[in-house]
A and B are shown apart, each in its own frame.
Chain A
Amino acid sequence: MAIATTDLAGAPGELTLDNLLGTPEGRELLSCIQCGTCAGTCPYGEVMDYPPRRLIGLLREGMLEEVLASESLLNCVTCYACMAKCPRGLHLTDVLLPLVKEQVFVRLPEVPAELQKALANTLRYGNPMGESARKRAAWMATAGVPVRVLGQDPAPVDVLWFVECYTAYHPRGQDNCRATAKLFHVLGTDFAILGNEEKCAGECGRLVGETGLFDALADANLKLFGKYTFNRVVTSGAHAYDAFRHQYPARGFTHPVEHTTPYFARHLEALKPRLTKKLGCTVTYHDACVLGRHNGFYEEPRRLLQAIPGVKLVEMAHNRINSMCCGGGGGGMWLDTYYKAKGYERLADRRVREAVATGADVLAVSCPYEVSRFEDSLKVLGFEKKMVVRDVVELLAEAVEA
């Protein structure tokens, strides 16, 4: 019976110890010194039967079946902490764990209902929330500035703005959309969107182990990119950025890609004269795992925040490479009910407690998942009057006076 495929040496599509160790990343397992830093830094390490260190130990002992039969990797929120801290530089989060997780996913006796729904929705509608694909660009009605849709006006464009799902559909994500559109206008950027043709970039599908879904979405988006002429992709999705930068090139994607936060940081000098409104707030910034640990964008969001008049930036105890995950990566976005049923603490709650402890009144983020995750936590923990969650681009746009 065919299973989800991965390009492995030997027998493609089937994970065996031989073909795992036949890949360059797989061979890295042999250099693991079993120091346990990975397990110690893993946000769900304490609830996993097999945190990364044990998992590697089992694989090296040939106990692949035990690893694949365990649901430990469903608790992996792909936060890149183990990989960032590994003294041997093992490609844990980006290659090794996904290889194993893909097989774990295929063998799951039952895919948790919330995750199953999100995956089925993403395949059918191109977004995990199950909204109509025909309404993906509906937010444009409230954009406040003209936004070009390539399907209607396919003339070449400088910036193809890949909006992504939570930004396009979630009411708070749409605030991010309006802010981004406003900032592009302020900068005089030549930009356009894919509108209703765009589909989820698929990064979470891949990292939860549903690689076939990622393949289907990447194929669709690459075909779409081929239809239009543009110089670069700028995306609001932190996870989409990660997929475009690290996964799409192997499939023929050659354009430069930027996330909106580093993009606006690169244009900060041009923006600065327009940042005239004093916001008067204390902000603490949460480093999104994929932007920070995986791609090194630690200073760009902070430079943007510090350029806003009346913003005082304070740091949480865990910041930059030590940032704590919101719990939304690797499918965690749709595993909250699964984690709750198991009695695990919601990682976003843990993070929000730390944010509130800084005394800041704004929790600034750069990943569209985090807005709803942290807002939910603020409500659950009773902090909704103490702190609000704002995307960095929302704060920037607010500081631009009409």
Chain B
Amino acid sequence: MKMVPDIVEELEVAADGKSLDLEAARPIVSESDDHALEQALLLKDRLGATVVAMGLESPDIDDVLFTAVAKGADRAVKVTGVEPPVPTSEVAALLAAVIPAVPDLMPVDLVLTGCQAIDDLDGMVAPFLAERLHIPYVGVVTGAEIKAGEARATVLKEYAGGVRARYVVALPAALGVQAAEKPPRYVPVAKVRATMKAAKIETVDAPERDAPSPLAVVRMTKPEAAGHAEMLEGGPDAVAAKVVELLTARGLL
């Protein structure tokens, strides 16, 4: 689970001109990661699986991991010693190295993560991770079903224009989840608070970083206004006349 800037707050470009001002931003869990957790919990509700929530050390990640446990995850694991920023390809490399190193975790049947996060839109963590773990990958998933005792999952994937496909994928597999079958569940605040007192977040050290990503952000800017809309004033007849005039002038009528 990954923290991204909350876009309810104003976003500011940092002084370096190529990154977000993280002091001004407020972290929130990536929405599709929250859906990935929900899909995992739905599978657990149906099959009795063990769900382990994982996240890289970052501001507020403890709250997210405790909330995951309060919702029904069995364990929470935080990867510590990661210096941000960590580009997508490095996150995948890091998780691929860390997942097998988490005590009493392997083998896993499914690795679920959000299919995309708003701070890079690359959507590459799950496919990169699948590649490194040598397991199959399906992205933009909107539902998953596993029959007890079968080493395969049936997953729904959404395409544009309302087209949906059903894939059968061998387990273990990595899924990039767009939306769980149901909206993420609510967990009462008192239960989260009680979980914070009773549960523990396990930590694992991040391995040495691989070769750095060959991609770098060159410049980050806020959208610049190139023009503006013209409001047509007046009664319906006057506005209609202006619309006709404008369309005629542009050769559209």
Q: Which residues of A contact B (CB under 8 A)?
A: 1-5, 105-106, 110-111, 113, 116, 119-120, 123-125, 130-132, 134, 210-213, 215-216
- A116 and B190 in contact, given A131-B8, A132-B9 (Cβ under 8 angstroms): no
Q: Does B191 contact A (CB under 8 A)?
A: yes
Q: Is the CB of A120 within 8 A of B8?
A: no
* Complex-state Cα separation, A288 to B192, whole angstroms: 34
Q: Quick one: which of A1, A4, A110, A134 contacts B185, CB cutoff 8 A?
A: A110
Q: Quick one: which of B28, B185, B186, B194 contacts A2, CB cutoff 8 A?
A: B194
A-B contact pairs, 15 of them (CB 8 A): A2-B190, A2-B198, A3-B188, A3-B191, A4-B189, A4-B190, A106-B191, A119-B186, A120-B186, A210-B188, A211-B190, A212-B189, A212-B191, A212-B193, A213-B189
> Distance in Å from the Cβ of A359 to the closest Cβ of chain B?
32
Q: Is the CB of B195 within 8 A of A2?
A: yes
> Distance in Å from the Cβ of A15 to the closest Cβ of chain B?
13
Residues of A within 8 A of B198 (CB): 2
Q: Is the CB of B188 within 8 A of A123?
A: no
Residues of B within 8 A of A134 (CB): 9-10
Q: Does B182 contact A (CB under 8 A)?
A: yes
Residues of A within 8 A of B192 (CB): 212
Q: Quick one: which of B8, B182, B193 contacts A132, CB cutoff 8 A?
A: B8
Q: Does B212 contact A (CB under 8 A)?
A: no
- A105 and B188 in contact, given A110-B182, A130-B8, A132-B8 (Cβ under 8 angstroms): yes
Residues of B within 8 A of A124 (CB): 28
Residues of B within 8 A of A210 (CB): 188-189
> Distance in Å from the Cβ of B29 to the closest Cβ of chain A?
11
* Complex-state Cα separation, A33 to B202, whole angstroms: 56
* Complex-state Cα separation, A113 to B184, whole angstroms: 10
The 8 closest A-B pairs by CB, nearest first: A212-B190, A2-B194, A212-B189, A4-B190, A111-B186, A116-B186, A213-B189, A4-B188
Residues of A within 8 A of B185 (CB): 110-111
A interface majority secondary structure: helix
Write out, one digit per residue, whether chain B residues 164-190 have a CB within 8 A of any chain A CB (1) or not (0): 000000000000000000110110111
Among residues of B, the one whose C-beta sits closest to the C-beta of A5 is: B190
> Distance in Å from the Cβ of B156 to the closest Cβ of chain A?
20
* Complex-state Cα separation, A212 to B70, whole angstroms: 13
Residues of B within 8 A of A120 (CB): 186
Q: Quick one: which of A113, A123, A132 contacts B189, CB cutoff 8 A?
A: A123
Residues of A within 8 A of B188 (CB): 3-4, 105-106, 210, 212-213
* Complex-state Cα separation, A133 to B28, whole angstroms: 14
Residues of B within 8 A of A212 (CB): 188-193
Q: Is the CB of B190 within 8 A of A215?
A: yes
Residues of B within 8 A of A119 (CB): 186
Residues of A within 8 A of B191 (CB): 1-4, 106, 212
> Distance in Å from the Cβ of B26 to the closest Cβ of chain A?
9
* Complex-state Cα separation, A124 to B64, whole angstroms: 12
Known pairs A113-B183, A131-B8, A210-B189; list 4 more (Cβ under 8 Å).
A210-B188, A211-B190, A212-B190, A212-B192
Residues of A within 8 A of B189 (CB): 4, 123, 210, 212-213, 215-216
Among residues of B, the one whose C-beta sits closest to the C-beta of A108 is: B186
* Complex-state Cα separation, A134 to B189, whole angstroms: 22
* Complex-state Cα separation, A125 to B192, whole angstroms: 17
* Complex-state Cα separation, A4 to B194, whole angstroms: 9
Residues of B within 8 A of A111 (CB): 185-186
Among residues of B, the one whose C-beta sits closest to the C-beta of A131 is: B8
* Complex-state Cα separation, A215 to B182, whole angstroms: 28
* Complex-state Cα separation, A389 to B189, whole angstroms: 35
> Distance in Å from the Cβ of A78 to the closest Cβ of chain B?
18
> Distance in Å from the Cβ of A124 to the closest Cβ of chain B?
8
> Distance in Å from the Cβ of B68 to the closest Cβ of chain A?
15
Residues of B within 8 A of A211 (CB): 190
* Complex-state Cα separation, A244 to B210, whole angstroms: 56
Residues of A within 8 A of B194 (CB): 2-3
Write out, one digit per residue, whether chain B residues 132-151 have a CB within 8 A of any chain A CB (1) or not (0): 00000000000000000000
* Complex-state Cα separation, A123 to B190, whole angstroms: 12
> Distance in Å from the Cβ of B191 to the closest Cβ of chain A?
6
* Complex-state Cα separation, A12 to B253, whole angstroms: 75
Among residues of A, the one whose C-beta sits closest to the C-beta of B28 is: A124
> Distance in Å from the Cβ of B200 to the closest Cβ of chain A?
15
> Distance in Å from the Cβ of A119 to the closest Cβ of chain B?
7
